[in-house]
Amino acid sequence: MTEQELEKNFWGAAIVLRGNIDTGDYEQYISPLKFFKCLYDVYNEELKGFVRSDVDMKYEAFAENHHFVVPENTH
């Protein structure tokens, strides 16, 4: 399967899943996903800032070390 065929299949699946949602209402579904993706990216960048040692590993998850709190088992 070529990349173009794969993209075509994904696009077709997205149209089927979207159903009869009005274009204006579609934003209500996409905006929260984009927001959560932003939170996830910021959290990951903050994790990269820690020096990787055994001592730092237990402190990196503290809420005061991050702009956002990502609950355990959701990351």
Q: State which amino acid sits at residue 54.
A: D
Distances in Å between the Cα of 4 and the Cα atoms of 13, 46, 57 are 14, 35, 42
Whether 68 maps to a domain, the answer reads yes
Range of the domain at 40: 20-75
Residue 12 lies in a domain: no
User: How many domains are contained in the chain?
Assistant: 1
> What percentage of the chain exceeds 90 in pLDDT?
8
Residue 39 vs residue 73, higher pLDDT = 39
Is residue 50 pLDDT above 90, yes or no? no
> Where does 1-75 show beta strands of DSSP type E?
none
Residue 49 and residue 42: Cα distance in Å, rounded? Answer: 11
> Is there a domain that residue 31 lies in?
yes
pLDDT at 6: 92
Q: What is the pLDDT of residue 47?
A: 73
One-letter identity of residue 73 = N
